[in-house]
Amino acid sequence: MNKKSKILLPVTTGFVLQSICALAQQNMQRPNIIYIMSDDHASKAISCYDGSINKTPQIDRIAKNGVKFTNCFCTNAVSGPSRATILTGQLSHINGMVNNEVVFDSARLTLPKVLRANGYQTAIVGKWHLKSTPAGFDFWKVMPGQGEYFNPDFIENGKKVREEGYITDIITDNALQWIRKRDTARPFFIMIHNKAPHRPWLPKFENICSYDTAHIPLPDNFFDDFNNRSAAAKNQKMMVARDLDINIDLKIIDTLSIENTYQINAARLKPEDRRVWDSIYYLRNKPYFEQKLQGKELAVWKFRRYINDYLACIKTVDDNVGIVLDYLKNNGLEENTIVVYTSDQGFFLGEHGFFDKRFMYDESYSMPLLIQYPKKLKAGIVNDQLVMNLDFAATLLDWAGIKKPAQMQGLSFANYIENSKRLRNATYYHYYEYPGEHAVKRHYGIRTEKYKLIHYYYDIDQWELFDLEKDPHEMMNVYNKPAYQEIQKQLDSALNKMRLEYKDTLISIPVNVKKISNKALNFSYELKYPPSAKYAGKGKFLLTDGKIENQASTTTGFSENWLGFQKDNLELTLPIHNKIHAKEIEIRFLELPDSWIFQPESLDFYLINEKNEIISTNKPIVVRQKRATGGEIISYKIAFNQKGVKKIMIKAVNHGVCPVGHPGEGKPAWIFTDEVILR
């Protein structure tokens, strides 16, 4: 070693030690993040927001120690899509999770992945509900599907386990166990995702009677007649009076249906607990049998049964939030830990006579959002900024000192909490899950501080406009009223601008195509991988023969009309003849998850010229439609300029195996296709 090297060595070593110390110091200063999210927890059922129906002293502590947001909204009021938006900072049409039937692509860039790449320890415990395997977490312990309230199953880093006890307690216990075992030299991020208070509202034994003697006021518009509202408002299937299930929701013990849903839910209880459970609900439900309630009396009785169980589930959530807050305080972590409490969306508690969510009406659209961060935020702030769940990832990264990735569409509101300057002037919404559970029509819209404009589409074309200052409960649709013509025009323009800004074009595509012109009739095509011999269809032109399965028909033709690919991708090349002048190409897939048949994990169209060069790669527009014989048909389509295009290659990626939590978990997954359409 020469003298120069001898001199440099201690300097270099000192520099490395300095860097390590600086990094350690930076990690010590970065905030820990605890993100607590319950499922279907309406703001009205948090006492710091309302106080008229229950008390939540522990959740209220977060508002008291930090900030309460009064204008936080989701972008798609259903569980899976909301969770995907929170993780990715992207709207549903960008992250692909447009409804609960889609499998979330865990390969996408997410908040936990960015935090982990920047030195954070990451974990999630509780409800996942995205069908795919969680990614970006050092530790994950999630429930298959919706999960169970009693003695639930979990998947812990890929391994199935069952734990005894009540779900909310178990989730909190596991979260705190992970926090205790963490590397204390590094900041941590943990998502604590409660199942409660999701349907079927099964309370913990200790809390089951908590609200039996409480007087919960009936909402003023419980008996809404939907006069002057859209057909969408009238034709849903989420009325307390009509649509609450006798077994699932009201826990009626029907001795004629031994295997009813009530019995299945209660079957997870120990025999001694089951006897207590049955006796409680037997006494509660005696009026149903003895008084022969009808009409409005029956509707009110159903509401009382529903709301009592719902609030009793929240009581356990509140108790467990207190346990987490006490742990932070008692272990010196409170000052530099961000604690978020929210829900995946709002929930109807009898307003308009509804239960559930989905609509853009504020009870469903609005989310509770409480944040404490003593190191940065003053206590007791009430903030009325218009924020969305789209913004959560950007804001938490901002507080962590990490630059937001360019693909995240949300905005950070970190510097707008004590700032009178407005983050945005309006929020955006788009709901896709129709046809589907509860029959809420597809719709999109815009909300400002004073007004809301909603467009229902797909199989209807109707609008609603509400003056939120004069009509906060959204009872009077003023769309096309002379006094609101100017406001309507302004909102329509703003809505179109937001659609363009967010690149949301799905709504402009006609879904109910009654007449389809397939210009690819009897075209030859090439398949890189052959279909399964079991589902090889009939005829070499099956994918271009023009025999398109009618979505409304009851004919099956399952083995003849569909090509099935087991585990393999579909890679199809279609020549484009000069005699054909096409402007759009579409390919259709079947989705029957119960039969292990899934839509592709991803799909791309490649436009190729005569030199066999790829001119462009286009992501498709996706349209879903229910199939009378079960499942859905999903169409992927692109518009294209035919000039210079000699062939189109379509690549549909198979999931490979059924996802975690699926009955066929780990077994080969299928994709089925029936037609390529050129228009």
Topology of domain 33-201+315-416, CATH: Alkaline Phosphatase, subunit A (3.40.720)
Rounded to whole angstroms, the maximal C-alpha distance in the chain is 100
What's residue 628's pLDDT? 62
Measured between alpha carbons, how far apart are the two ends of the chain, in Å? 75
Please write the tens of the pLDDT for every residue from 47-76: 999 999 999 999 999 999 999 999 999 999
Q: What is the CA radius of gyration of the chain?
A: 27
User: Is CATH 3.30.1120.10 correct for 437-508?
Assistant: yes
Classify residue 11 by burial, with Cβ atoms within 10 Å: 0-12, 13-18, 19+: exposed
Percent of the chain with pLDDT over 90: 60
Question: Which of the residue ranges 21-30, 224-233, 356-365 would you say has the lowest mean pLDDT?
Answer: 21-30
Q: Residues 6 or more apart from 512 whose CB is under 8 A from it? A: 458, 459, 625
pLDDT band at 559 (very low <50, low <70, confident <90, very high): low
Please report the pLDDT score of residue 562 as a whole number.
84
DSSP 571-628: EEEEE--TT---SEEEEEEEEBGGGTB---SEEEEEEE-TTS-EEEEEPPEEEEEE-T
Instruction: Give me the residue spans of the domains in the chain.
Output: 1-30, 33-201+315-416, 205-304, 437-508, 526-678
Q: What pLDDT score was predicted for residue 225?
A: 95
Q: Is the pLDDT of residue 325 over 90?
A: yes
Domain 526-678 CATH (choose: 3.30.360, 2.60.120, 1.10.1220, 2.40.50): 2.60.120
pLDDT digits (tens, 9 = 90+) for 292-312: 889 999 999 999 999 999 999
Instruction: Tell me the per-residue pLDDT of 231-247, one tens digit each, with 9 for 90 and over.
Output: 999 999 999 999 998 88
DSSP letter assigned to residue 440: P
Query: Which amino acid would we find at residue 404?
Result: K
Structure confidence at residue 11 (pLDDT): 43
User: What average pLDDT does this structure show over 562-568?
Assistant: 88
- Amino acid present at 235: N
- Angle, CA 357 vertex, CA 354 and CA 360 arms, to 5°: 100
pLDDT band at 254 (very low <50, low <70, confident <90, very high): low
Containing 647, the helix (H) or strand (E) segment is: strand 647-653
Q: How many CB atoms lie within 10 A of CB 141?
A: 24
pLDDT surpasses 90 at 642: no
DSSP 195: -
In this predicted structure, the answer to whether residue 535 has a pLDDT above a threshold of 90 is no
Has residue 400 got a pLDDT over 80? yes
pLDDT band at 516 (very low <50, low <70, confident <90, very high): low
Is residue 370 within 8 A of residue 48, CB to CB? The reply is yes
pTM over 0.95: no
Q: According to the model, what pLDDT value does residue 112 have? A: 98
Please choose, from the candidates 316, 307, 301, the residue with its C-alpha nearest in 3D space to the C-alpha of residue 349.
Answer: 307
Query: pLDDT, tens digit, for every residue of 568-620?
Result: 899 999 888 776 778 889 999 988 877 889 889 888 888 888 888 888 777 78
Tokens 């389509």 label which residue?
Answer: 637
Looking at every residue in the chain, the average pLDDT score rounds to: 88
Q: 33-201+315-416 with 437-508: one CATH topology?
A: no
Report d(CA 674, CA 676) in Å as an integer.
7
Which has the higher per-residue pLDDT, 20 or 666?
Answer: 666
Please report the pLDDT score of residue 163 as a whole number: 95
